[in-house]
Structure 1
Amino acid sequence: MGAAPSTPRLGAAGAAPSPSAAEQMFTALVGEKAYPISSEFWKQLLELPLTLQWPRDRVLQACHAFAENNYQTKHLAKILIHLVWCLQECTSTTSVSSVVYRRAINAAYISSIFLKFIIENAKTDSWQELCLVIDRSEKGLENFPAENTVEYFLIRGVLEYIGSVGVSPESCYLHHELLNLMLVLMSTQLCSGPSPEPKDVHPFIDAAMLQDSSIVASVVQKLLLNFVTRPKLPLNASHPVFSDDARPGVLQRVGSAAANVVLLPYYTFNYLVSSTPEGATSQLADNSLLVLLIMIHYRKCFSTNESIPTNNVYTMDSNTNDKDAPVFHDNPYCKALNSAKDIQYDRADVEGNAQNGPVVRLSFALLFDALGRFLNDEIPVLLLYSLVHGNCDFQEYVLVRTDLDTLLMPILETLYNASRKTSNQIYMLLIILLILSQDSTFNASVHKLVLPGVPWYHERLMHQTSMGSLMVVILIQTIKYNLSKLRDVYLHTNCLAILANMAPHVHRLSAYASQRLVSLFDMLSRKYAKLAELKNDKSLKVISDQMEADNIADDMSTELHIYTDFLRIVLEIINAILTYALPRNPEVLDFFNSRMDMQQLDGEWSVDKVLEVINKTCRSWRGEGMKMFTQLRFTYEQESHPEEFFIPYAWRLVLSRGFSFNPSAINLFPVEIHLEDAPAGEQKV
């Protein structure tokens, strides 16, 4: 792995490079000799088919050598600059040669390998090991933007390509590599704590936050479109990059790509795909969504003691007067998503808001349908939450749809199968329902929507039941499951809040849903009675350790208070259902008995006569004379520091999709470290 005396030779022009020549090129890349950015070495390296088969220990040896020698060679910065130049070449013409695609794909892939290793093993929080400061006077850098850092230049080039070039059979593999590279670049967050601090440095995602609004809008729009359209890869087709080469390169076939052991196999993440085009398409769409979620939930923090840039918008926690409280820059990607408009939206209105910058425009109908199809997956759930919470236009669009079952059925089915889902996924789904239930039209609509059947509900057959009745049944089941298993106060508080919002609008609630609601009250009352009995039990007084007795009593008092609140809410839910349903209820006896007495009819009352009086009197009955309780209404508000939940949550989703990262380097959330997770001979760079 020493220095190469000169640019390695690849043999005759047009001939496939031999394995020894390819090995020589990579040995030179990780070696001690620094190749100028203008050297032919880079062109030859990036045009290699990635067919080297190295064992894991050889891969780690190469990574260690590259990281150690990068201090002098600056090869990481140089390959990143070459990547941007390749991307610029890809966008500068309508007809892109396969060689240019090959160079761009290889540059993205190779750089992501070494970037990830350095990030995982860095000692400094400022990422000095990346060595991104270059000599601007070096030949070949004459046109490098003087005001740009390497990280800004890289991020701008990658985002410009993602936002401006559509996914086609020719460009799909490059898009995939760039999305993977973006995840690697932003993975510095995994090494920071769960609470953003002013001292945190994330060079690449910070650079992404500084991009022009036009780039931001185009990237958000393209990532959403990738999720919605799920572009297809050609079935059993060779990638054009390798059309003139019979050698099985890493990107030659979708089916073989996952099976091949190639240069640095699976070290960055499980490469590409399952063996089917559907799997590949799904991963491209999923990675687009993961990149979007990471970007929209990022928060750049700085202290109020620092000078605040006049050209940046920032937000501060309004609930604190602490002058040292953290201040957060506004996230332009979050802002772009929140201001996205339906493509059917009046273009004149969009143009009228042009002073606010470019607007993301896409079909809300297609987005709505895509979310409905994939809500059994946790990643789209977080996107749906982000949209209904942050984008008023999309929330309004959802509320006026007549086919609410498109979203509600997969949500309710997931809640029904809560035991097989993560608590975070259940939490997100309940918040989505809570946000929707804040709208009275939504609450009325769900009781008018009649379902022919619910095939996934196994406890009993449900025929011709309303969506509202099904929601009541599933929410009560979720409460009971949570009380017995998870015991998370926030989860069943959210369930009861949704039921309370729905209660005044309940219409034709099914007998089964009514019975489940009564059984919930019965269960809570029995638990309350049992707790009250235990709290008053004299046996607590015989505990020798008075402090322990006090702690037990305090815990019981807290739990008793919680159940008191739950019982109160359930009673108010039942009261609201009965109160607001009285005009439709022919069995309110007190009112109608008096009206029947007024008839002063002689003889026996037949059933038909009684029913006739009741039906006539129903039309004139008013409930104003009743003592009305204040209507319960719950609204959702994010915690004061939502980033402490959403940043770790988004990264957990990334890791769940095969993105491997050294567990000992993760500080964002607790992880279990197994011996097999650590690479052999691991050491700090």
Structure 2
Amino acid sequence: MGGAPSTSQGGSQSRESAEFLIGALVGEKSYPVTSSIWQSLLEVPLTVQWSQDRVHSACLAFGKNNHQTRHLAKILLHLAWSLRECQANLNTSSTLKAVNAAYISSTFLKHFIENSKIHKFEDLYLEIDESEMRPEDLSEDTSVSHFVMSEILFFIGKSEVSPQSYMVHFEILNFMLVALSTQLRSGPLPEPGDAHPFIDAAMNQGSAVISSVVHKLLTNYITRPHISFSGPGFSTSIREMQRGVLQRISSAAANFVLLPYYTFNYLLNASADGSKSLLAQNSLLVLLVLVHYRQCTVVGESSENLPSNDVSHYSINPYCKAVENARDVELDRVDIEGNAPAGPLVRLPFASLFDALGTCLSEESSVLLLYSLIYGNSNFLEYVFVRTDLDTLLMPILETLYNASRRTSNQIYMLLIILLVLSQDSSFNASIHKLLLPSVPWYRERLLHNTSLGSLMVIILIRTVKYNMSKVRDVYLHTNCLATLANMAPHVHRLSGFASQSLISLVDKLGRKYTKLVEIKQGKVLESEGEQMEGAPNHDDVSAELQIYTDFLRIVLEILNAILIYALPRNPEVVYAVMHRQEVFQPFRNHSRFNELLENIYTVLDFFNSRMDTRLIEGEWSVDKVLQVIITNCRFWHGEGMKMFNQLKFTYEQEGHHEEFFIPYIWQLVLSTSGLTFNPNAIKLFVTDGEANQ
């Protein structure tokens, strides 16, 4: 690449030099990739700024001339080379060039992706012109996109984050999000014709590189590094460069050859909450994009009688495999069973990862990471089950569900799926009832003291069902809540009084809803005779909703049966709640759809009511006196006359085309949290707010 003349550091001279260099980059003249002008461009001081209008004009000029100059490919090559230089000799000069290369590349690449007219992004012209000599390290069979991604991923995986390298790492992650944003230009379901040059190049890396990248991105998430302007190892030259960055904060103009404005805000507030790390946040976003990417390839010739879906499949995603195969660094490196995992192997400190997740579950991206780990990685799931502090994960999950009205529906779905996956394990269901919570400060309706984690989980799930019935009316949400409760039911231990009352209250609420729907449906029978009033609901809709609530009511009654059959002696509060609200069950005692599920409940009622009748109590019955009689007689309960039912067991499985949900969802998070903006009119991956309002 050779040496290059340094750019003058004087204020006006720096601007004049920058004007010339940027003009050369976007202009009509093609400069060889070996020209010294590239080095001069990357050495433009960080104090130079352009207005947003001029940036836009430069992008338009670049777009007009790039097919002839191929300067986009050349600046990307220099980005790759600047990262090599940083790894070989990290200093102020190499850092400056890498930061400039990453930001200049990001700015123009994003413009090209947003405005590309060709489906496969061929109008990016990511190759050196045939008339120009190729660089020695860029072989004939290696594309520029593959070469650049190889160097970027190698840098991410192998370079440590330090005060000197922080800005480079941060801008490289920003560049990654831009480069991967070609997904925004495709539909939600990947198709064989989709082309994503950078993300496809990332998928075609070696196992060692992929392992190191996944390890580093997760390490960034765990350690949450943030920049500091003082402390050991922070050199004077780096500090001066940072001050050059901060000098431009007061300007209202958008910055060009420099870090974006939101980065400045972060740098200014570096001493704020240490858990807030943009580097950690964007590391996770890049990881999620890579892990959930699906490349659709054609495996045969289609015919008129053969649907296209039958001749295509999704290639194995090595980043997804790396996350699924991740092992705890504390465990022996030797596989006892002799079964080496297929694909890249990543070793992580599961304890630190567990704690980081517990701290950050208010962030939707962290929820997605937890889902990916517990659903796809059996090693991490087993680790979660042996932790004695399950409240670290569960308390933020339950608090978020408690505040469901202020959260997105996608976040609530993911949290409920996580609980469902966890509830599939009997040891988990037993453990959560052994952990007592001194208080639950965020629960406002009533004071909860010394409540078990299991009882709180029951309370929140039932509360979520009730909220859904009155506000959202989402069948999928109902199903997940009740499935989790059903998995928990046989293992319930000393369920609290409030949780027990909530369960019976849910039976009552579902029963009332069922009865109301029956009455409406009977009204529709009258409609066929010409007696129905105008404005009544559609008969088919009522019938469908009635069937749904019939199933829900049956599941809740089965949940109650499971507690009474398998765990009655350990749950006197449940018995008390059943006795206290026994009128709730009366309308369904002789109902053909529910009577078999009521038999056990009335067997329990008969047993304990008879014991109450034989007790002579001085004065009036009180809650404590009734409960004491129940506790005493629980010792004599042996389940005689109870009808046994198979335990309900619900498991979670991803839907066939789950990528239709995850890919748009992840990119919505990227656009809402990373600082990356994208022309909404160019987005095809999901419906934007503007389109939704039309």
TM-score if structure 1 supplies the norm length?
0.86
What is the rounded CA distance, in whole Å, between the counterparts of 1:216 and 1:247 in structure 2?
Answer: 31
- Partner Cα distance (2:482, 2:645) in 1: 17
Give 1:659's aligned residue: 676
Task: Indicate how the Cα distance of structure 1 residues 580 and 149 shifts in structure 2: closer, same or farther if over 3 A, else same.
Answer: same
Equivalent residue for 1:304? 299
Q: 1:398 aligns with which of 384, 391, 397?
A: 384
Task: Check conservation: 2:440, 2:448, Cα contact below 8 A.
Answer: yes
Of the candidates 67, 73, 79, which is equivalent to residue 83 of structure 1?
79
- Residue 230 of structure 1: how far off its partner (Å): 0.7
Question: Match for residue 630 of structure 1?
Answer: 646
Alpha-carbon distance in structure 2 between the residues aligned to 1:343 and 1:451: 31
2:296–2:313 Cα contact (<8 Å) kept: yes
SS at structure 1 position matched to 2:313? strand
CA distance in 2, matches of 1:648, 1:545: 45
**Which residue does the alignment assign to 1:482?**
468
Q: Secondary structure at the match of 1:48?
A: coil
2:173 maps to amino acid: L
Q: Is the 8 A contact 1:340 1:359 kept in 2?
A: yes
8 Å contact 1:38–1:139 — kept in the other structure? Answer: no
- Offset, 1:357: 5.0
Q: Secondary structure at the match of 1:447?
A: coil
- Cα deviation digits, residues 621-652 of structure 1 (max 9, x gap): 64486320111111000000110000001001
Q: Give the equivalent residue in structure 2 for 1:32.
A: 28
Q: Does 1:426 align with 2:419?
A: no
Query: 1:269 & 1:203 partners in 2: Cα distance?
Result: 28
Aligned residue runs from structure 1 range 642-653, under 5 A: 642-653=658-669
Q: Residue 45 of structure 2 aligns to which amino acid in structure 1?
A: P
Q: CA deviation at 1:362?
A: 0.9
- How far apart are residue 157 of structure 1 and its match? 0.4
State how 1:146-157 maps to structure 2 within 5 Å.
146-157=140-151
Alignment of 1:349-360 (within 5 A): 349=335, 356=342, 358-360=344-346
Cα–Cα, structure 1 residues 443 and 585, in superposed 2: closer, same or farther, change >3 Å?
A: closer
**Residue range with higher mean Cα deviation, 504-513 or 109-118:** 504-513
1:264 to 226, 248, 256: 256
Aligned in 2, Cα 1:211/1:46: closer, same or farther, shift over 3 Å? same
> Greater shift after overlay, 576-585 or 20-29?
576-585
2:363 matched residue in structure 1: 377
Describe the SS at the equivalent of 1:537: helix
Q: Does 1:163 align with 2:180?
A: no
Secondary structure at the residue paired with 1:18? helix
Report the TM-score when normalising by structure 2.
0.85
Distance 2:308 2:398 in 1: 42
- 1:616 Cα shift? 9.6
Q: Secondary structure at the match of 1:452?
A: strand
- Asked if the contact 1:447–1:508 (Cα under 8 Å) also holds between the matched residues in 2, the reply is yes
Q: Which residue of 2 aligns with 1:65?
A: 61
User: Tell me, which stretches of 5 or more residues in structure 1 are unaligned?
Assistant: 1-6, 308-319, 597-603, 675-685
Tell me by how many angstroms 1:236 deviates. 6.0
In the TM superposition, residue 334 of structure 1 has moved relative to its aligned partner by: 0.3
Whether 1:276 and 2:273 are equivalent positions in the alignment is: no
Match of 1:527 among 508, 513, 516: 513
Distance in structure 1 (CA, Å) of the matches to 2:241 and 2:214: 38
C-alpha contact 1:101 1:241 (8 A) present in aligned 2: no
Deviations 1:284-310 (A, max 9, x none): 100000000000000000233269xxx
Check if 1:96 corresponds to 2:83: no
Per the alignment, residue 472 of structure 1 pairs with 458
Gaps of 5+ in 2: 576-603, 619-625
Q: Secondary structure at the match of 1:346?
A: coil
Deviation, structure 1 residue 58: 1.5
Letter matched to residue 294 of structure 1: V
In the alignment, the residues of structure 2 paired with residue 355 and residue 633 of structure 1 have an alpha-carbon distance, to the nearest angstrom, of 29
C-alpha deviation, 1:375, in angstroms: 0.6
After superposition, the CA RMSD in angstroms is 3.6
1:152 and 1:402 mapped to 2: Cα distance? 45
Residue of structure 1 equivalent to 2:352:
366
Amino acid at match of 1:329: S
Count of aligned pairs: 644
Q: Deviation of residue 12 (structure 1)?
A: 6.2
Distance 1:322 1:570 in 2: 43
Residue 373 of structure 2 contacts residue 380 of structure 2 at CA under 8 Å; is this kept in 1?
A: yes
Give the percent of matched residue pairs that are identical in Structure 1 and Structure 2.
57
AA at the equivalent of 2:19: E
Which residue is 2:174 aligned to?
180
In structure 2, what is the Cα distance between the partners aligned to 1:346 and 1:217?
18
Q: Equivalents in 1 of 2:339, 2:649: separation in Å?
A: 34
User: CA 1:481–1:259 in 2, change beyond 3 Å: closer, same or farther?
Assistant: farther
1:312-461 residue pairs with structure 2 within 5 A? Answer: 324-349=310-335, 356=342, 358-461=344-447
Q: 1:521 to 1:400 in 2, by over 3 A?
A: same
Is 1:498 aligned with 2:484?
yes
Q: Secondary structure at the match of 1:88?
A: helix
